[in-house]
Amino acid sequence: MVSHRLAAGGLVNRGNALSFTFDGKTYRGLQGDTLASALLANGELLVGRSFKYHRPRGIVTAGSAEPNALVTVGTGARSEPNTRATVAELYDGLSAASQNRWPSLAFDIGAVNSLLSPFLSAGFYYKTFMWPASFWEKVYEPLIRRAAGLGRLVTEADPDRYEKAWAHCDLLVIGSGPAGLMAALAAGRAGARVILADEGFRLGGSLLSESSAVGGLPAAEFAGQMLAELATLPNVTLMPRTTVFGWYDDMVFGAVEKVQKHVALPTPDLPVERLWRIAAKRAILASGAEERPLVFGGNDRPGVMTAGAARTYLNRYGVAIGQRVAIFTNGGSGYALARDLAASGVEVTALIDARKESGDAVPDGVRLIRGGAVTSTRGTRALKGIIADRSGFEEDLACDALAMSGGWSPVVHLMCQRGAKPVWSDERQAFLAPDVGAAFVAAGSAAGLDRLSACLRDGADKATVLARDLGFAAYEAEIPDVAGDYDPDFAPLWYVPGSKGKAFVDFQNDVTVADLGLSQREAYSHVEMTKRYTTGGMATDQGKLGNVNTIGIVAGMRGVSPAEIGTTTFRPFYTPVSFGAMAGTARGEHSRPVRRSPLHGWAARNGAIFVEAGPWYRSSWFPREGEKTWREAVDREVRTVRASAGLCDVSTLGKIEIFGPGAAEFLNRVYSNAFLKLPVGKARYGLMLREDGIVYDDGTTSRLSENHYVLTTTTAYATEVMAHLEFAAQALWPHLDVRFASSSDQWAQMSLAGPKARIILQRVVEDDLSDAAFPFLSARTVLLKGGLAARLFRISFSGELAYELAVPAGYGEAVADAIMEAGYEEGICAYGVEALNVLRIEKGHVTHNELDGRTTADDVGLGRMMAMQKPDFIGKHLATRFGLTAADRLQMVGLKPVEADAEIKAGAHLLKENAKPSMVNDQGFVSSACYSPTLNSFIALAMLKSGRERYGEKIVVWDALRTSEVLAEVCPPVFVDPDNKNLHV
C-alpha cells in the first residue's frame, strides 16, 4: 500500500503514532486521526460492503453521515457493530473489523446479488416468495434473514459503565464551527450560561478543515484562540465528543457524550458514554451543511467521496485521498478542493464542472472540463478511472480517487424533529430550516449561508439577539476577516443523464435511480411511500446523504419542484445512540430501585428465601435443615401457625396517617362500607372501589384518636391507593378538612398469628392483652416492656388469633428477635408470604388474585360491604349496571379435588363435566390454589359462573396448558373455621 499521508500539514500529532488493526492487519495512524483518516492514510480504500448487493464500498464522507465505512470496533463484550469509521477517534490498540462480508472483505460471496440485481428491484420481495404458503417461514425467510443486517451483536453483558445527567443553560449552541464558535463567544461574553456541544473530538467544526485564514490566522488556529477564551469563561461549558441527537418538548435536548470511546481500556471510575438531557432556554443550531453526492453510474466505487470530505482529509488529517484525483462538481466546492490539492502538490487529473460557466478560480495546471459530467467509473475494489462526458464526447480518465460535490444541504434535522417540515428554497436549491419560533434558531451554513465570513457574522448576531432576549447586556462581537473565502454556490444537478451502470442515491441500502423510477411507475408516489417501498433513506444514515437527491430525482421524474415532493419525516435520533447510554445505570440488578423491609435483616438471619414483589424483596419461606422442597417448609410454617404461632413480616403494606375533622367523612366516601362510626381504638376492614364499581383495593383502617386514623393498603397497590386518596381529597372534595401522608417507612410491622400468639406477645408487651382488655379489632398504641411505644392491631389474615405489631423501623429487627425468643418454647416459627397465602386461601380471604380489576364486591362474597344506604361513595353509582349485577357473573367459590392428592393450579379453567372445551362453555377459572396442610388436600379459590348456587356440584378443573384435568367439588370458599371462632378466643 502506498502511504497517502502527506509529508506535512494537518492537525494530527506526527510525534504520536498509534497502532491499530483492521481485519486483523496492523496499521499505524497518528493521534488526531479518525479510523477513516488513518485507513485512508494507509491507502485502504475498501472498507465495507453494501447491504443488498454486497458491493465493495469505500469511505464517502468525513463525518457522521457516513453510509459505507461501518465497521465493528472492539472485541469480545466490547464489540461495537456499525461504528462509523469517519467519526471513530483513533486510539492505540483500536481493533476494527469489516462487516457484512463472507468469507472476506475483498472476496464476498454475497456480491453475486449484484449480478442478480435485475430481479432484486425495489420491492421485489413483496411480489414473490408466496408459493407455496408454508415456504415463507421454512425456506424464503431464513434465506432473507441470513442476508439481513450489517454488524453482529455480541450478546455478552457490557462490562463498562454508563451515566446520565441533566444540564441547564441559557443558550445551547449545537456545533462548534464558525457560526457556533462565534455564537458561544458572543453569548458567553454577555454573561449567559452557555453550553457548546459538538460531536467531534476536537472543537472547531469546519474551521479545522478550512484552508482560509480567519482574523489573520490559519482557520484552525483561529478556532483554537476562540476556544481558549471560551475556556476561561466560568459561565461557558465546552462539550466536545457530544452529539445532540434529539430536540424534545420544552427545549430539552438529548445528547450523548463519548467519555471514553477513545481509549482501549476504559477506567471504571468514568462512564464510557454519558447521556445528557440539556434544558436550554434558547438554542442555536450551528450544525453546518452536508455535501450532497452526485448521482452517476458507478458513483459508489471505493475511491469516490465528497469533495468536502476529501478536503477534510487533506487539510485536517494531512491525507491525500489518492495520487491522481479527479473532481466532479456542480459548484464552488470542487474548486476549493482543487486549489487545496494543488497547493499540497497532489495531482488533480481533471476538474469536471457540470456548469457551463462559473467565476470560480481554477488553480494553475489543473485541467477544467466545463459543462462536463462523469457518466461511469472503472475499477472493482478500487477506482481505476472515470468516463467523463462533455456534449456527447466521452473521455476515459485514469484516476484513483474522485471527489464529487452535488451542492450543500443545511443540516436541519434537529429543528424538524418536532413536526415542522423544512422549507425548499429555489434560490439555495436546498431544504432550509423551518421557523420553529424564536427560542431555537439556525445559524451559519445550517441556516443556508454559504460563505465562511457570513457564517461567522451570523453566529455572533443570532447569539446576541438571543442573549438580549434573555436580559443579558448586548455584546457587539468583532467579526474577523476571512482571507481566501470562497463561494460554494452551485447549480442543481440531481442526476447525470446518460449514466452507465448503477447510479446510487442511497449507498448503504443500494437504492438506485432505477429503483426510484420503478416506485413512481408503481404508484408508490408519495415521498413516504417511495421511501418505504425502495428503503431509500432507511439505512443507518437515515438519508442524511441521499434523501435530498432522492427528492430532486423524483421531482424531476414527475416534472415538479422538490418543494412539491417534500421531505420524509425527520425523527430522532440525529445519529444512532447506544442502548447503553440510554439505559445508564438502570440495568441488571439495578434496573429498578430496591425497597427493603425494616425486617429484611431479621428474615435473612432466620434463613428466608426472598422473592421479588414489585420494588420489594419479601421473605417468601424459611426453610429449615432437612427440608428438601419449598413445600415442606411452607407446610410446616402453616401447621405451626395453626397449632402454635408464627411471625410474619408485613411491613410492606402501605400505611397512611389520616388527620382532621373531615377524616371520618372522607373515609366513608372512599370506602364502600360504613366508616363514620368506627370507634376510637378500633380497626375495620375496608373495601375500596374504583368509580366504575369494581373493587380497587382492600385493607384495614384504624381510628387511633378522634381525628387520627391509620389506613393500610395492600403491598401491591400502596402507591396507587395513596395517589387515589390524594386525588379524592384534592380534586374531588377539597372542602373536607382532611390531611394525610404516608408513614409506610416509619414502621416495622409484623404479624404474630396462631393460638399461642397472645401468650407470646404478652411477654413482650406491657399492656394487658386479654380478650376482654384487647378484643378482636382493637387497635391502639401500647408499650413494650422497656418502654418502647408501638402500635398494636388485633386483626387476622390467617383466621387465627393474630396481632399486627408496628414498631419504629429501626427497632424492627430487635423486636422481632425478642418475639421469636419469647415464643421459643411454643415453637414459634418465622413464616413467609407463601405460608401467608396458604393460610388466607384456607380462610377464604381475597387478594389481588381474586380482585383482578374485573370483580365486584358481590363477586367475591363481599356484597354486604356495599353500604348502598350511604348517599355517596366512590364506585356506588356505576356498581348497579346490568353487566355488574348479572346473575351469571363469576362468583368466588372454593374447590376441593374429589381425589385428595390431585393437584389444582391457579390459572386452570372450569368446565362442566363432559362439556366440550370452548369459550362459550367456559365456566370460570381458578384464581388461587395451594396445598392445604390443614386439610391434607389441594384446595383452591375459583371464580365460577353463578358459583354460590353451585355448592356441591362436581366440576372439571381444566388445565390443558399443563395437561391436567381434575374433578373437583364446588364448596364455600372458607375452608377453616367458618364461624370465626378462632378470631375471638
Partner 1 sequence: MASLITCPHCGVRPKEEFSIRGDAVPVRPAPNAGAEAWYAYVYVRDNPKGRIQEYWHHAAGCRRWLVVERDNVTHEVFSVRDAADVARSGSGEAA
Partner 2 sequence: MCEVTLPMTLSFAHRHVLEDHIVGFETRPNPHHLAVVRRPTILCVLAHAGFEGGVKAALHALEGVCVRICGPAEWLVVSHSVGPEALLRLVREIEGVSAFDHSDGRVLMRIAGPNVRSILAKCLAVDLHRDSFAPGASANILIAHVAGNLARIGEDAFEIIVPRSYAGTVFEEVKEMGREFALTAGFSED
Partner 3 sequence: MALVLCIAYAKVRRLFQDTRMRYSAFEIIKQAFSGNRHWKPAWREPQPKPHYDVIIVGGGGHGLSTAYYLAKEFGISNVAVLEKGYLGSGNVGRNTTIIRSNYLLEGNEPFYEFSMRLWEGLEQDFNYNAMVSQRGIVNLFHSDGQRDAYARRGNAMKMHGVDAELLDRDGVRKMMPYLNFDHARFPILGGLYQKRAGTARHDAVAWGYARGADSRGVDLIQQCEVTGIRRDETGRVLGVETSKGFIGCSKLALATAGHTSVTGKMAGLDLPIETHVLQAFVSEGLKPVIHNVITYGAGHFYISQSDKGGLVFGADIDYYSSYAQRGNLATVEHTIEEGVSLIPGLSRARVLRAWGGVMDMSMDGSPIIDRTPIDNLYLNCGWCYGGFKATPASGFCFAHLIAKDEPHYTARLLRLDRFQRGFVVDEGGKGPQPNLH
Binding site for partner 1 (CB under 8 A): 166, 248-252, 277, 279, 419, 691-692, 719, 723, 726-727, 730-735, 871-872, 876-878, 881
CA-nearest of 419, 367, 774, 409 to 572 is: 419
Supply the minimum distance, in Å, between the C-beta of residue 270 and partner 2.
6
Peptide bond into 293 cis (omega under 30): no
Q: Taking CB within 5 to 8 Å according to partner kind, which of partner 1, partner 3, partner 2, none is near residue 825?
A: partner 2
Q: How far apart are CA 438 and CA 587, in angstroms?
A: 39
With CB under 8 A as the contact rule, the residue among 589, 888, 913, 979 that binds partner 3 is 589
Q: Taking CB within 5 to 8 Å according to partner kind, which of partner 3, partner 1, partner 2, none is near residue 393?
A: none
Window 679 to 698, contacts with partner 3 (CB under 8 A): 690-694, 696
Question: Helices 452-469 and 178-189 sit at what angle, rounded to 10 degrees?
Answer: 30
CA-nearest of 305, 36, 86 to 200 is: 86
SS3 510: coil
530 neighbors 519 (Cβ within 8 angstroms): yes
Q: Taking CB within 5 to 8 Å according to partner kind, which of partner 3, partner 2, partner 1, none is near residue 571?
A: partner 3
Q: Which is nearer to partner 2, 821 or 899 (CB)?
A: 821
CA-nearest of 414, 385, 235, 403 to 331 is: 403
Q: How far apart are CA 841 and CA 941, in angstroms?
A: 7
Q: Does 827 bind partner 3 (CB under 8 A)?
A: no
Tell me the pairing of strands 242-248 and 964-971.
unpaired
Supply the minimum distance, in Å, between the C-beta of residue 661 and partner 2.
9
Peptide bond into 573 cis (omega under 30): yes
Q: Does 708 bind partner 2 (CB under 8 A)?
A: yes
Q: Which is nearer to partner 2, 390 or 763 (CB)?
A: 763
Q: Which is nearer to partner 2, 52 or 587 (CB)?
A: 587
Window 542 to 571, contacts with partner 3 (CB under 8 A): 542, 569, 571
With CB under 8 A as the contact rule, the residue among 149, 159, 216, 268 that binds partner 2 is 268
Q: Taking CB within 5 to 8 Å according to partner kind, which of partner 3, partner 2, partner 1, none is near residue 385?
A: none
Sign of the dihedral through C-alpha 320, 326, 329, 334: positive
Sign of the dihedral through C-alpha 387, 390, 391, 395: negative
Q: Taking CB within 5 to 8 Å according to partner kind, which of partner 3, partner 2, partner 1, none is near residue 564?
A: none
Q: Does 27 bind partner 3 (CB under 8 A)?
A: no
Q: Does 156 bind partner 3 (CB under 8 A)?
A: yes
Q: How far apart are CA 98 and CA 95, in angstroms?
A: 11
Q: How far is CA 967 from the centre of its chain?
A: 48
Window 865 to 894, contacts with partner 3 (CB under 8 A): 878, 881-886
Q: How far is CA 26 from the centre of its chain?
A: 37
Q: Which is nearer to partner 1, 657 or 953 (CB)?
A: 657
Window 594 to 623, contacts with partner 2 (CB under 8 A): 594-598, 601, 615-616
Interface mask toward partner 2 for 75-94; x: CB under 8 A:
--------------------
Q: How far apart are CA 208 and CA 205, in angstroms?
A: 6
Q: Does 148 bind partner 3 (CB under 8 A)?
A: yes
Q: Which is nearer to partner 1, 109 or 878 (CB)?
A: 878
Q: Does 162 bind partner 3 (CB under 8 A)?
A: yes
Which DSSP helix (H) or strand (E) runs through 22?
Answer: strand 13-22
Q: Which is nearer to partner 3, 228 or 920 (CB)?
A: 920
Q: Does 744 bind partner 2 (CB under 8 A)?
A: yes
Q: How far apart are CA 968 and CA 899, in angstroms?
A: 8
Supply the minimum distance, in Å, between the C-beta of residue 665 and partner 1.
13
CA-nearest of 513, 333, 352 to 409 is: 333
Q: Does 764 bind partner 2 (CB under 8 A)?
A: yes
178 neighbors 452 (Cβ within 8 angstroms): yes
With CB under 8 A as the contact rule, the residue among 629, 918, 952, 981 that binds partner 3 is 918
Neighbours of 695 (CB within 10 A): 27
435 neighbors 429 (Cβ within 8 angstroms): no
The grid cell for 430 is 436546498
CA-nearest of 48, 21, 22, 42 to 108 is: 48
Q: Does 818 bind partner 3 (CB under 8 A)?
A: no
Supply the minimum distance, in Å, between the C-beta of residue 475 and partner 3.
32
Stretch that binds partner 3, among 60-68, 248-256, 378-386, 406-414 (CB under 8 A): 248-256
Residues forming contacts to partner 2 in the complex (CB under 8 A) are 163-168, 193, 268-270, 277, 279, 585-586, 590, 592-598, 601, 615-616, 657, 659-660, 707-708, 737, 739-741, 743-747, 759, 763-764, 784-788, 807-815, 818, 821-822, 824-826
